Structure 1
Amino acid sequence: MRDYFFEGVRRLDWGLGNPNFTGALIATLMISLWIAAYLWKYGFWLSLSANAVLGACLVHTYSRGSVVALVGGTIVLVCCVRRWPANRIIACVVTAAALVGYSGYLGASKRYEPGFVAQDGSVVNRWAIYEKVPRMMWDAPEGWGAGRASDAYRQWYQETGRLEKYRQLVSSHLTWLVEFGWGIRIAYVLSWAAVIVLCFPGRAQHWLSVPLAVWICFGLSASFSDTAHQPWLWIVPTLSLVCVVVARVVVADWPSGILFAVSAVAGMMLLGVLAVLGGMGKGHLELALRQGIVTIGKGGEQLSVFVAKPDQAVLGAFYGHKLRSAAEDSNLAPRFHIQWKEHSRNIQDVDIAVVSGVGVAEEKLQFNPVAARRIWLINPGNPSNTVFEQLKEHGEVHVLLGAFWTGEAKLFWEPQGIASKRFTIEPCPLAGQYVPNWLTAVLSVEGATF
């Protein structure tokens, strides 16, 4: 389990593995505990005391997103609260001031301030991702696939030369909007809109401001981190929603249809804005995901290249950077077709096909081997019988093997150059399992320059 530090101080994580997750949990608990103020005569003082203790813990997480989430939920509570006696207002102000002072004493304010009033590396990286999300949604109407959002960003949208890897798109909401198609995108936004309306307090049930604030707090925390990917962080918001539904059933008090309609329209407008921004954000390279195949190029291409199910152990974790650079700078202006999903359409007409690593172990090739002028195998594994028979039918197969690669399959492929004229074995010097110059080797045969 990884430990997180800020200026030599270990950030509090309660053993949850990430202080941002801990901060989101603490912020949500702080908001939810205000329900005691509605249920008990002295509940206000219990809630305030608990918030003071949890607030000190929140400061120790040094989580900026959780602080923003807490502030958002608190604003909802303050806007919905009825008139409080002066002593309660003073107590809240004193507690808030004490927590601010405590954050300064710990030096946590040094972490908060750059994110809010100045440039900070973490914040800059987040905005670099956020600004690409509309285009990622536009380019992939079917969605990039569950668990593939960060990989899609790294290969096709991250600035070339940058080597950061992300678990998610540092936002659960944006990650899911990118990973799934428009049907699920619409359902997701409408679900949030319905929850907000259900929790919206009325005159008869003023306490609903607490569940509303809980969901606002939780939603904001999931905007700055992948907190919503942690199932246990849904427990408090889900319990609050269950209480809301039960209470509304008991008293037969439901929001009007107009509120649901207005929230649905607002949600659709939000998606519409993202779609418009995505359409306007197109770059000079054409990029699209259709039926499981990523296509990238400038148009007017002279060469069509298909990359079957890229093995990142062989082609590299940033193989997309190489493909983008070649599509933009090569004199051949190649158009690349990359098999992105397990079940994708077959490519029938390509000039060059590239199969790497475990790709040859598939049941069959995802392209027409007869139509391809050349087939390149990059450090291929042991092929399935079907794939090997398909390859034997092709006239020109180049097998690029890393000189220092010690894979078992190397013993299978090296003799093929002697046994059959169809296979050309080409050693790649200074390469092991990872072949850094594989694309240069493939395109240079076609007379490409970069």
Structure 2
Amino acid sequence: MKPNEQHGELSRLSRERIVDAAFRAWGRTHFSNTSLNLVARELSVTKPAVYRYFKGKEELLEALRLDYADRLDCELVAPLEEGEPDFLQDVPGAASLERAAAAYVEAVYTFFERNPFHYAFFVRYLLGHPFERRPEFRDTVRRHDELLLRHLSSPLVMRYTSSTAAFWTTEHYRRDASTGRPVIGTAFEPAESMQDRTGRERTIQTITQRLVQGFLPQDHHPVDLELVERIAWLTPEEMPLPDRVFSAIEDVVQEQGYAAATVERIAERVGITKSSLYHYFRNRDEMLMQVVLRDQQHFASLARIRLQQIEHPEQQLYAFFLMIASYAVQHPVFMIVENWIRENDVSVELPREHVEQMQAIFEFLTDMVMTGRLAADPGEAFSVIGFIRFLIMQELSLLKKPIGRDDCVSLVRTLFTLFSRGLVGTEVLEGAEV
């Protein structure tokens, strides 16, 4: 490159521009590919030009974390604090709660609308890692939590509120095929139609209703919690049988996380050479995908047996909550696998007979949507499944020690109550017991 061209290239750059480009370039891959080449290509500069501002990928990732923390403070928490008199008006009961929820959902929606790749970064690098351990987030998150906890009864209810707003906002992101840019949309309307104000308001209203009123109608079939718990709780004896290779992969993933689960580490754990491991799998991705497939198939076989013993769809729904939680408690790698699927937007290519089995297992959920017994749009059944997984995995990932059956059941009961009845139907106001 000629000196004047190099000078022009550098004059166009700044740390801020590189950070913005990294969010876009890496965000399109759900942060599964964090190559500096992608960032350089996004900026139309050379890789050495990026190195003039950042020593390497880790330093750039740290800059992304700082940028996330700064935007979270300036664009979400500070505006909520400034608008708190309107955000939580002095109106008793449900009316106040609904107004507050609508304001909060709109604030979260606006934040991710302005920063469409920040949610992928959150799920990849921040979910499951308590924010209080990260000094750059500590003050902002404390103020966010205090703002909600002044009016809600517990940290769990606070997390449910923020998770519902964030999950369903980002479930509406779709990619415009012509530009590749993330846009706000739904699975049932062209993404372009959601860019107008009417579509925006409709989406915010839908998310608010789900948060405040819950997903089940008030007159839904009563759920016999104890009956379902006796049937649906999965035991250690039902977990997948040990396999030399799969157990090694799962152990490494559980100890190191999927990102650090290298072929070398897995081969060392198995006790064979790296080249010998390739007799089992073609590459690292296939190894991890086989772990996913194995766990999905095993969980599905257990779920099918349990759900056949339960009559009403509402009770089957509670059983699904319990099965996900008890499987993750007994088989912790399942939690990492589930997070890995969501973080990377993975679609596991299952055998046809297994796909048909999965469809049959969750037919009750599809029927609930189609008959109006579940507050979701046609086609959103599997988004609801993803939401339930997300709620449970988030709570379990925050635990500092193993959880016993009774405590886990209590946690699941609370989550199911919030999911079913929403904030209005659950005693969630400050001073109430949940």
Normalised TM-score (structure 2): 0.20
Question: Which protein, 1 or 2, shows the higher relative CO under an 8 Å CA cutoff with sep ≥ 6?
Answer: 2
How high is the TM-score relative to the length of structure 1?
A: 0.19
More helix by share: 2
Which of the pair is proportionally richer in strand? 1
Larger-gyration structure (1/2): 1
